[in-house]
């Protein structure tokens, strides 16, 4: 009875939300805006439709627009007056990687921010991300215990200072039962289609570590094959089992979040665990790989992803680990993060690693704006440049065999938190915890140009460029329901005239507005 009543109240609260068909623009500086949502007015996000034969659906976002929709009738397409600056020709036989998906992370901070909002807004944010009337995420990353975006440091066996090599005290924490699991379950309910969960650990319990605590530079004690490395593998399996009991099954696990970061950042004060490529190789080979197999999480059940750290490490780590036949046999893919060290993105490492190890797929597993330095602007409302840095990075990765792209915190507050030690960052959605409202940043829409329109199992199609492509980035796909999809970003101030060949039955001439991103969709049967 109480439950029925609760359900009724929830339903009523849901209906309080009034959806509008246009962005409710809120300017925090003169240049660009966020789309604001409160219970009295919240912009809906249009679902997608299938363009009929002979038409192209065109979605445009820019510093002026968000998901502006037009249907182009190919029969009425006019020839350009001037020769175009840029000609793109799709190479239909150059079919490369299959897409695994796009998504973000179910951090503790995400749910702490959601809980400050009325129920109807909490659920609208979940819809924004996970439904087709949203940007339709197909991947969720789940931290194993605490991260820097939690409100305390914790693991599942912080047994005071005592060792617990048998993991007798292993237990999920209130963050799992009250924060993460409810969010994941709601996403699973909303999601109609493939949804893939990836889990990653930040720190082991302090008693397993050489520095004795959750934060800062410490390795597991002893050597791979030894007690601590073995116990750490068993701990991860207990996590997988505990979530499975909740009906939450993972598609992938990374071997460790940012195993190198405490080497790179001096005075590192987050929860972390160090590995060298050599002890990672041996741990996978002697402990993690065999334990996963023994427990029913072999590589055909759960994808094991290597690295989960920045691109500049890709070549060395794969060289050490994937040249070892046994270690390589347990690993399905290679995860990497977007953060640039000394402003150098190291994109070419993706091609090198793909060429060296073509049977191990590449996937981007973490990104956020505002990380650059302590002086960088962390969370920011309405910065369109960040929409472009996201889109550019995604396109650079997709053009180099990357199969998916996962953002960091789904939701932060307007200061870019909360976090354990004042670390803060930007996010696609920011909540004003005092005002009962939230904001969709420009990045939400630019990322949506990928996540909403390139479903899992789409295949990357190569392309050729003629003319001046400076500042223009694009990638093309065929989706599993036989539609061609192309995403194009123009980072220039000026418009660019463009012709796309082999996308539709006729060459498609369009203009890319300055500082805009667009997604074009047309039935593949149009292609001749
Ligand atoms: C979409 O873009 C066109 C062309 O710039 C503009 O006229 C129209 O108002 C836009 N629609 C919305 C809903 O902003
Ligand atoms: C789920 O997807 C299927 C096919 O993709 C579609 O026919 C159906 O209407 C969708 N259901 C909902 C609730 O969106
Ligand atoms: C990769 O390994 C080489 C040889 O050990 C070393 O000189 C180089 O600094 C390493 N690069 C990175 C990015 O760690
Ligand atoms: C917007 O973000 C970019 C990238 O982080 C930054 O360089 C720029 O200064 C920001 N713009 C403003 C107006 O703060």
Q: Which of 458, 504, 485, 481 is nearest to 95 (CA)?
A: 458
Give yes or no for residue 378 CB within 6 A of ligand 4.
no
57 inside domain: yes
Q: Domain ends where: 451, 474, 493?
A: 451
Same domain, 258 and 325: yes
Q: Find the range with the poorest average confidence among 53-67, 78-92, 231-245, 313-327.
A: 78-92
The protein residue whose alpha carbon is closest to atom 12 in ligand 3 is 313
H, E, C per residue of 10-77: HHHHHHCCCEECCCCEEECCCCCEEEEECCCCEECCCCCCCCCCCEEEEEEEECCCCCEEEEEEHHHC
Is the same domain home to 216 and 354?
yes
Express as a percent the part of the chain with pLDDT over 70: 95
Which residues make beta-bridge pairs with 411? 429
Which residue, judged by its Cα, is nearest atom 12 of ligand 1?
Answer: 68
Q: Out of 3-17, 313-327, 362-376, 454-468, which region has the weakest mean confidence (pLDDT)?
A: 3-17
Task: Give me the mean pLDDT over the 319-340 stretch.
Answer: 97
Q: Is the CB of 481 under 6 A from ligand 2?
A: no
Whether 369 lines ligand 4, by a CB cut-off of 6 Å, is yes
Say if residue 340 is in the same domain as residue 296. yes
- Say whether pLDDT at 287 is over 60: yes
Residue of the CA atom closest to atom 11 of ligand 4:
383
Residues 6+ positions from 110 with CB-CB distance below 8 Å:
149, 183, 409, 410, 411, 412
| pLDDT the model gives residue 372 | 80
Ligand 4 atom closest to the CA of 426, numbered from 1? 5
Helix (H, G, I), strand (E, B) or coil at 427: coil
State the Cα–Cα distance between residues 173 and 373, nearest whole angstrom.
32
CA atoms within 13 A on the CB side of 73: 2
The answer to whether position 183 is within a domain reads no
Query: Does residue 14 carry a pLDDT above 60?
Result: no
- Phi, psi at 8, each rounded to 5°: -65, -45
- Residue 528 clears pLDDT 50, i.e. is over it: no
Q: What is the rounded average pLDDT of the residues 99-112?
A: 98
**Mean pLDDT lowest among 84-88, 90-94, 221-225, 513-517:** 84-88
Q: Is residue 499 situated within a structural domain?
A: yes
Instruction: Give me the pLDDT at residue 334, please.
Output: 98
Q: At what angle do helices 348-356 and 314-321 cross, to 10 degrees?
A: 10
79 pLDDT tier (thresholds 50, 70, 90): confident
From CA 205, how far away is CA 341, in angstroms rounded? 28
Neighbours of 458 (CB within 10 A): 23
Our mutation pick for probing the ligand 2 site, out of 192, 193, 194, counting the most ligand atoms within 8 A of Cβ, is 192
Q: What is the pLDDT of residues 175-199, one digit of tens each?
A: 999 999 999 999 999 998 899 999 9
More confident residue, 266 or 299: 299
- Atom 13 (ligand 4) nearest CA: 383
User: What residues are paired with 70 via a beta bridge?
Assistant: 58
* CB 20 near ligand 1, within 6 Å: no
CA of residue 328 to ligand 3 center, whole Å: 20
pLDDT in tens, 111-146: 999 999 999 999 999 999 999 999 999 999 999 999
User: Which among 234, 235, 205 is positioned nearest to 220, based on CA atoms?
Assistant: 205
Q: Give residue-wise pLDDT tens across range 214-240.
A: 998 899 999 999 999 999 999 999 999
pLDDT higher than threshold 60 for residue 60 = yes
Cis, bond preceding 418 (omega within 30 deg of 0): yes
Look at residue 15 in the predicted model and tell me its pLDDT.
Answer: 55
- Would you state the structure tokens that stand for residue 100, as one six-digit string? 């695994």
Backbone angles phi, psi at 19, to 5 degrees: -90, 140
pLDDT of residue 254: 98
Query: Of 410, 432, 451, which residue is a domain's last?
Result: 451
| Per-residue pLDDT at 466 exceeds 80 | yes
Residues 9 and 147 in one domain: no
- Beta strands 19-20 and 55-62 are unpaired
Tokens of 375: 């002086």
- Mean pLDDT (the chain, rounded): 94
Question: Is 122 part of any domain?
Answer: no
Residue 383 near ligand 4, beta carbon < 6 Å? yes
Number of domains observed in the structure of the chain? 2
Pick from 3-17, 278-292, 500-514: least confident: 3-17
Length of the chain: 528
Contacts of 167 (CB under 8 A, 6+ apart): 157, 231, 234, 235, 238
Q: What is the pLDDT of residues 388-441, one digit of tens each?
A: 999 999 999 999 999 999 999 999 999 999 998 878 999 999 999 999 999 999
Number of H helices, E strands in the chain: 14, 24
Sign of CA dihedral 446, 449, 455, 461: negative
291 among known catalytic residues: no
Helix (H) or strand (E) holding 501: strand 496-501
pLDDT above 90: percentage of residues in the chain: 86
Q: Looking at 175, 349, 366, 437, which residue is catalytic?
A: 366
Q: Which ligand is nearest to the CA of 192?
A: 2
Q: Does 264 fall in a domain?
A: yes
For residue 441, which ligand has an atom nearest its CA? 4
Query: Residue with the nearest Cα to atom 8 of ligand 1?
Result: 68
506 and 361 together in one domain: no
Is pLDDT larger for residue 31 or for residue 212? Answer: 212
Residues 299 and 354 in one domain: yes
Across the range 13-20, mean pLDDT stands at 74
290 and 235 in a common domain: yes
Question: Is the model's pLDDT at 2 over the cut of 80?
Answer: no
pLDDT at 343 over 90: no
- Assess whether 388 carries a catalytic annotation: no
Query: Would 179 be classed as within a structural domain?
Result: no
Provide the domain limits for residue 483. Answer: 2-97+459-526
What is the 3 state secondary structure string of 334-357?
A: EEEECCCECCECCCHHHHHHHHHC
Least confident of 36-45, 304-313, 339-348: 339-348
* pLDDT at position 264: 76
Measure the CA–CA gap between 13 and 22, rounded to whole angstroms.
Answer: 22
**Structural domain contains residue 23:** yes
Distances in whole angstroms, Cα of residue 221 to Cα of each of 62, 205, 278, 357: 51, 11, 15, 31
Residue scoring higher pLDDT (434 or 83): 434
Q: Are 284 and 327 in contact (CB under 8 A)?
A: yes
Same domain, 163 and 70: no
> What pLDDT score was predicted for residue 77?
84
Is residue 504 located within the same domain as residue 428? no
Q: 243-276 pLDDT, tens per residue?
A: 999 999 999 999 999 999 877 776 678 899 999 9
Task: Choose which residue among 61, 63, 65, 66 to substitute to test ligand 1 binding: the one with the highest number of ligand atoms within 8 A of its C-beta.
Answer: 65
Q: What is the mean pLDDT of residues 327-351?
A: 95
pLDDT digits (tens, 9 = 90+) for 483-522: 999 999 999 999 999 999 999 989 999 999 999 999 999 9
Same domain, 464 and 446: no
Residue 227 sits in a domain whose CATH number is: 3.20.20.80
What is the reported pLDDT for 111? 98
Domain final residue pick, 405, 433, 451: 451
Residue 204 maps to a domain? yes
Evaluate whether 229 touches 222 at the Cβ level (below 8 Å).
Answer: yes
Question: What is the CATH classification number for the domain harbouring 469?
Answer: 2.60.40.1180
Instruction: Kindly state whether residues 370 and 516 are assigned to the same domain.
Output: no
CA of residue 299 to ligand 3 center, whole Å? 29
Atom of ligand 1 nearest to the CA of 65: 14
Are 353 and 402 found together in one domain? yes
């Amino acid at each position: 009875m109480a439950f029925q009543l609760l359900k009724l109240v929830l339903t009523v609260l849901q209906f309080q939300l009034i959806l509008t068909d246009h962005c409710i623009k809120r300017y925090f500086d003169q240049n660009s805006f966020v789309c604001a949502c409160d219970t009295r007015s919240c912009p809906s996000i249009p679902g997608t439709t299938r363009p009929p034969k002979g038409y192209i659906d065109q979605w445009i976002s820019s510093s002026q627009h968000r998901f502006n929709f037009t249907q182009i009738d190919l029969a009425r397409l006019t020839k350009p007056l001037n020769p175009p600056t840029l000609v793109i020709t799709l190479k239909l036989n150059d079919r490369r990687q299959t897409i695994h998906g796009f998504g973000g992370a179910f951090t503790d901070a995400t749910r702490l921010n959601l809980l400050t909002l009325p129920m109807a807004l909490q659920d609208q944010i979940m819809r924004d991300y996970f439904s087709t009337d949203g940007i339709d995420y197909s991947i969720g990353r789940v931290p194993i215990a605490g991260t820097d975006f939690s409100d305390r440091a914790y693991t599942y066996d912080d047994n005071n200072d005592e060792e617990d090599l048998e993991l007798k005290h292993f237990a999920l924490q209130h963050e799992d039962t009250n924060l993460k699991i409810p969010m994941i379950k709601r996403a699973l309910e909303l999601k109609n289609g493939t949804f893939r969960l990836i889990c990653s650990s930040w720190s082991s319990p302090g008693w397993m570590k050489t520095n004795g605590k959750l934060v800062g530079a410490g390795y597991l004690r002893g050597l791979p094959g030894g007690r601590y490395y073995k116990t750490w593998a068993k701990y991860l399996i207990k996590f997988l089992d505990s979530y499975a009991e909740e009906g939450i099954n993972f598609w992938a696990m990374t071997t460790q979040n940012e195993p190198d970061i405490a080497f790179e950042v001096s005075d590192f004060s987050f929860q972390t665990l160090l590995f060298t490529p050599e002890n990672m190789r041996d741990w996978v080979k002697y402990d993690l790989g065999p334990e996963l197999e023994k427990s029913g999480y072999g590589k055909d059940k759960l994808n094991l992803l290597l690295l989960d750290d920045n691109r500049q490490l890709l070549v060395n780590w794969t060289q050490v680990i994937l040249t070892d036949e046994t270690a390589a046999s347990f690993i399905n893919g290679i995860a990497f993060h977007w953060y640039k060290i000394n402003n150098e993105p190291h994109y070419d490492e993706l091609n090198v690693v793909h060429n060296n190890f073509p049977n191990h797929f590449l996937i981007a597993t973490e990104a956020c704006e505002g990380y650059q330095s302590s002086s960088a602007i962390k969370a920011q409302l309405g910065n369109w440049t960040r929409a472009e840095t996201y889109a550019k990075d995604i396109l650079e990765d997709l053009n180099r065999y990357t199969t998916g792209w996962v953002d960091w915190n789904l939701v932060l507050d307007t200061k870019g938190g909360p976090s354990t030690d004042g670390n803060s960052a930007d996010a696609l959605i920011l909540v004003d915890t005092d005002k009962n409202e939230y904001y969709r940043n420009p990045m939400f829409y630019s990322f949506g140009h990928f996540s909403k329109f390139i479903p899992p199992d789409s295949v990357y199609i190569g392309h050729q460029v003629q003319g001046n492509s400076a500042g223009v980035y694009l990638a093309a796909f065929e989706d599993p329901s036989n539609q061609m999809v192309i995403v194009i970003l123009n980072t220039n101030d000026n418009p660019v005239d463009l012709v796309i060949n082999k996308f539709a039955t006729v060459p498609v001439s369009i203009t890319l507005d300055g500082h805009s991103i667009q997604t074009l969709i047309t039935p593949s049967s149009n292609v001749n």
